[in-house]
Homo-oligomer: A and B are copies of this chain.
Amino acid sequence: VITLPTLAHGLDLLGVAVFAASGALSAARRGLDLLGVLVIAGVTALGGGTLRDLLLDRHPLFWITNPAYLPVCALAALATLGWIHSRPVPERGLQVADALGLALFTIMGTRIAAGMGLAAVPSVLMGAVTGVAGGLLRDVLCNEVPLVLRRDLYAIPAIAGSSVYLATGGLGLAAPLTIWLGLATVVTLRLLAVFRGWSLPDLSIRGNP
Contacts and interface: CB of A to CB of B under 8 A. Distances in A.
Interface of A: 27-37, 39-40, 50, 54-57, 59-61, 63-64, 67, 70-71, 81, 84-85, 89, 118-119, 121-122, 125, 136, 140-146, 148-150, 152, 155-156, 199-205, 208-209
Given A70-B125, A149-B36, A155-B39, A203 B28 contact: yes
Given A64-B122, A89-B208, A122-B70, A201 B57 contact: no
A168 B155 CA distance: 46
A37 B201 CA distance: 11
Identical chains bound together, number: 3
A53 to B, nearest CB: 9
Contacts of A34: 200-201, 203
Contacts of A142: 145, 149
A69 to B, nearest CB: 10
21 contacts: A27-B149, A28-B203, A29-B209, A32-B150, A33-B152, A33-B202, A34-B200, A34-B201, A35-B152, A35-B200, A36-B149, A37-B203, A54-B54, A54-B55, A55-B64, A56-B60, A57-B59, A60-B118, A70-B125, A141-B145, A143-B145
